[in-house]
């Protein structure tokens, strides 16, 4: 059907065909409809204006549940529309196939243009069916006769007797593979939290998370287990007329996530993981298994000049049942209240007791509609995780604060954005981190319970100030406020790692992974912690998982190479180092691997390149290279230089695996004392 609702008079007789299409393909769908109706075939088709709500969804599900054939219309328009109600219909149809024998034909995809089947953005079950090509939706006599036979003869519905019928031969051009651009930063491994998020937005193919046999140690320890009260909020679809409100729809979903994290009894999957399903017509059970979520929330947002319609559903991923659904039609200025109502309704549907004040926005005065709109635009721009996106985000956040100076969420977002910019070297470290700290402190003056603001200060105190007591204090406060918030747990893991508190660091990072299982940055940090804790095989498994999620991300091949070197697998380590994209990390890695393989000339050349390119701003890496060679004097000389540079990797000096050869030297303990680190 079109992205509209049926009128009350329309029903779907048993044996009818359900026709699902994007609104831009209405003319082609009408041609298919007319051709089938002329042959006496009952077809469900509606072109009424868009509606929404629980009753509407139930009606659509009922139509699909009782139709005999489901015909999705696939085209360049549907490919371009990564969000739309027709994709929900496709999900309903896939759910229906679970109750139908595999030998029975139910799905009959029709392509009306040159869209290739390979790589098409459709549910996997569609690829298992035979596709039919009808140019412009003009049904051939063979196609109409074939549909008629399928409906009239049970034997003809048995596979594989289905054939494709084309109105004319249509070539299927190969679709170019999606490419990735990897930033080649020379330092700051923590900036992976920025780089990896950018990669995740582009990464396609959740199935790649499963390791092939024999390629790496089992990653079963990282497979999330479903908890009875675990929930993921998927990106909301933009159903606005011009489809220009994606930023608004994403913002509504993200705010619902933030509200649900305030409920102690709920395990809420982080945005970085749940938003990977944007535009993907994945089976809900598969999503639940992948994320370790017993429930998912999905919905849509439609917005006009002054009105907003928010529709949300709570679905049990274990059996596909809808536990709750509601539609809210409100003034745009009431969208924050709608988000709170949605969160409260979800909590109650899960039979949890929570005070309504817990799910209320933190600021005493709600932001104006214009300030909130600017804030959501800022979050959307920041999601690009590149310099231009960060700068646009800051401009939107400034605009929100100009409109409403008491808007604490905008100040908090400013702090975290400045932190990412400093980490990514888009801002000079000293000025960037100082600005981030000032914004976080301003956010705390507006809202003392901002866990993200406390976490930002914690990380800055750790990686830049080396103020360990202040960092511990801020992280303790942050985790008390939001014990399951992934960024907070990430900050706590980094702070514990700096002090050599491996057990606490492991607990924090594994908690972060549980709550955000598809964020590759978390696995990168986990690998670094495991290495320091002596769990080398676990480190190898973790970095393999990071590469499965984000194959082109910087630093992960380098880190995998180190785990292999520590196991005496130098040849394999060299292969990984050669794949590293970040130039500085590659030069360091090659110098290590060549040294382990006794290829001294190659090792010296790689080290010379590392010194030439990174001596002024990444002295710590050069110290690591010399320490691995057991050349202690130059290693300590470069370690002292990294201290003078305030190298941001120096916070991780304690337990650094490449510095093992220095630990028995009195100068090593003296250096730790100089940094106020415990021996």
SS (H, E, C) 622-673: HHHHHHHCCCHHHHHHHHHHHHHHCCCCHHHCCCCHHHHHHCCCHHHHHHHH
62-114 confidence digits (pLDDT tens): 888 888 899 999 998 898 887 788 888 898 898 888 888 776 888 999 999 88
Mean pLDDT, range 198-221, rounded to an integer: 35
Lowest mean pLDDT, pick from 88-102, 184-198, 253-267: 184-198
The CA angle 360-361-363, to the nearest 5 degrees, is: 130
Cα–Cα distance measured from residue 142 to residue 147, given in angstroms and rounded to the nearest whole number: 9
Q: Return the pLDDT at 61.
A: 81
Q: Return the pLDDT at 180.
A: 25
Mean pLDDT, range 622-646, rounded to an integer: 96
pLDDT of 478 > 70? The answer is yes
pLDDT of 355 > 70? The answer is no
332: its two tokens: 């745009």
Domains annotated on the chain, with CATH:
17-157 (3.40.50.10140), 225-361 (3.40.50.10610)
Distances (CA, A) of 677 to 451, 498, 673: 26, 8, 6
Contact call for residues 586 and 182 (beta carbons, < 8 A): no
Lowest mean pLDDT, pick from 171-185, 306-320, 423-437: 171-185
Contacts of 540 (CB under 8 A, 6+ apart): 216, 217, 527, 560, 563, 564, 567
Lowest mean pLDDT, pick from 9-13, 173-177, 253-257, 479-483: 173-177
Task: Give the β-pairing of 132-133 and 43-44.
Answer: unpaired
Cα–Cα distance measured from residue 107 to residue 94, given in angstroms and rounded to the nearest whole number: 9
Residue 120, SS3 per DSSP: coil
606-627 confidence digits (pLDDT tens): 999 999 999 998 999 999 999 9
Q: Which residues pair with 329 in a beta bridge?
A: 309
Lowest mean pLDDT, pick from 312-316, 340-344, 598-602: 340-344
Q: Return the pLDDT at 251.
A: 83
Contact call for residues 13 and 19 (beta carbons, < 8 A): no
Higher pLDDT, 51 or 250: 250
DSSP for 123-152, please give it.
Answer: -HHHHTSPPEE-GGG---HHHHHHHHHHHH
Q: Return the pLDDT at 249.
A: 84
> pLDDT class for 665, splitting at 50, 70, 90?
very high
Lowest mean pLDDT, pick from 351-360, 390-399, 410-419: 351-360
The residue ranges of DSSP E strands in 83-201, in sequence order, are: 110-111, 132-133
> pLDDT class for 5, splitting at 50, 70, 90?
very low
Higher pLDDT, 333 or 371: 371
Distances (CA, A) of 431 to 4, 190, 245: 52, 18, 34
Chain mean pLDDT for the chain: 81
In the numeric block, the tokens 């930002």 are attached to 456
pTM here?
0.61
Cα–Cα distance measured from residue 556 to residue 578, given in angstroms and rounded to the nearest whole number: 12
pLDDT of 50 > 50? The answer is no
The percent of residues in the chain predicted with pLDDT above 70, rounded, is 82
Lowest mean pLDDT, pick from 275-289, 423-437, 495-509, 569-583: 275-289
533: its two tokens: 């804790």
Please, where are the H alpha helices in 322-403?
Answer: 335-349, 369-382, 387-403
Q: Which residues pair with 652 in a beta bridge?
A: none
């Amino acid at each position: 059907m079109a992205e509209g609702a049926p009128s009350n008079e329309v029903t779907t007789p048993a044996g009818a065909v359900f026709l699902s299409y994007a609104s831009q393909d209405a003319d082609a769908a009408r041609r298919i409809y007319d051709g089938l109706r002329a042959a006496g075939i009952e077809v469900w088709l509606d072109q009424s204006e868009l509606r929404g709500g629980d009753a509407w969804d139930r009606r659509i599900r009922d139509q699909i549940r009782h139709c005999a054939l489901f015909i999705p219309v696939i085209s360049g328009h549907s490919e371009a529309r990564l969000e739309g109600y027709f994709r929900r219909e496709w999900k309903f149809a896939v759910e229906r196939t679970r109750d139908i024998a595999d030998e029975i034909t139910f799905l009959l995809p029709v392509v009306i243009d040159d869209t290739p089947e390979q790589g098409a953005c459709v549910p996997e079950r569609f690829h298992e069916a035979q596709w039919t090509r009808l140019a412009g939706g003009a049904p051939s006599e063979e196609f109409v006769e074939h549909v008629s036979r399928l409906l009239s003869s049970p034997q003809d519905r048995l596979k594989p007797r289905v054939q494709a019928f084309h109105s004319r031969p249509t070539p299927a051009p190969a679709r170019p593979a999606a490419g990735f651009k990897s930033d080649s930063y020379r330092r700051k491994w923590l900036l992976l939290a920025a780089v990896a998020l950018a990669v995740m937005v582009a990464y396609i193919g959740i199935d790649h998370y499963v390791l092939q046999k024999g390629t790496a140690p089992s990653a079963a320890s990282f497979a999330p287990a479903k908890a009875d009260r675990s929930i993921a909020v998927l990106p909301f679809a933009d159903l606005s007329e011009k489809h220009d409100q994606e930023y608004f729809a994403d913002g509504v979903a993200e705010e619902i996530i933030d509200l649900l994290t305030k409920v102690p009894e709920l395990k809420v999957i982080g945005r970085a993981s749940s938003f990977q399903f944007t535009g993907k017509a994945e089976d809900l059970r598969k999503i639940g298994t992948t994320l370790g979520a017993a429930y998912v929330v999905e919905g849509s947002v439609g917005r006009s000049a002054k009105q907003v319609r928010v529709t949300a559903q709570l679905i049990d991923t274990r059996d596909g049942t809808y536990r709750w659904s509601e539609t809210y039609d409100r003034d745009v200025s009431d969208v924050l209240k709608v988000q709170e109502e949605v969160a409260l309704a979800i909590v109650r549907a899960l039979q949890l007791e929570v005070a309504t004040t817990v799910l209320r926005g933190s600021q005493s005065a709600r932001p104006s509609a214009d300030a909130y709109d600017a804030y959501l635009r800022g979050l959307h721009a920041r999601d690009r995780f590149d310099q231009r996106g960060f700068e646009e985000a800051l401009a939107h956040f400034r605009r929100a604060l100009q409109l409403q100076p008491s808007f604490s969420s905008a100040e908090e977002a400013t702090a975290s954005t400045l932190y990412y910019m400093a980490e990514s070297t888009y801002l000079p470290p000293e000025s960037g981190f100082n600005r981030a700290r000032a914004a976080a402190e301003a956010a705390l003056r507006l809202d003392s319970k901002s866990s993200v603001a406390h976490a930002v200060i914690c990380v800055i105190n750790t990686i830049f100030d080396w103020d360990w007591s202040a960092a511990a204090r801020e992280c303790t406060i942050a985790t008390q406020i939001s014990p399951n918030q992934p960024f907070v747990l990430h900050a706590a893991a980094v702070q514990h790692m700096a002090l050599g508190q491996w057990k606490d660091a492991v607990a924090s990072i594994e908690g972060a992974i549980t709550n955000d299982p598809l964020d590759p940055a978390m696995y990168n940090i986990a690998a670094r912690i495991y290495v320091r804790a002596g769990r080398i095989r676990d480190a190898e498994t973790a970095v393999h998982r990071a590469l499965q999620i984000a194959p082109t991300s910087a630093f992960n091949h380098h880190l995998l190479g180190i785990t292999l070197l520590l196991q005496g697998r130098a040849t394999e380590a060299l292969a990984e180092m050669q794949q590293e994209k970040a130039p500085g990390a590659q030069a360091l890695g090659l110098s290590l691997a060549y040294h382990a393989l006794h290829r001294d000339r190659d090792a010296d050349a790689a080290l010379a390149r590392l010194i030439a390119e990174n001596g002024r701003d990444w002295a710590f890496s050069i110290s690591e290279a010399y320490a691995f060679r057991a050349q202690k004097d130059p290693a300590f000389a470069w370690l002292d230089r990294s201290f003078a540079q305030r190298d941001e990797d120096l916070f991780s000096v304690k337990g650094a695996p490449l510095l093992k050869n220095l630990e028995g030297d009195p100068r090593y303990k003296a250096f730790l004392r100089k940094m106020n680190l415990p021996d």
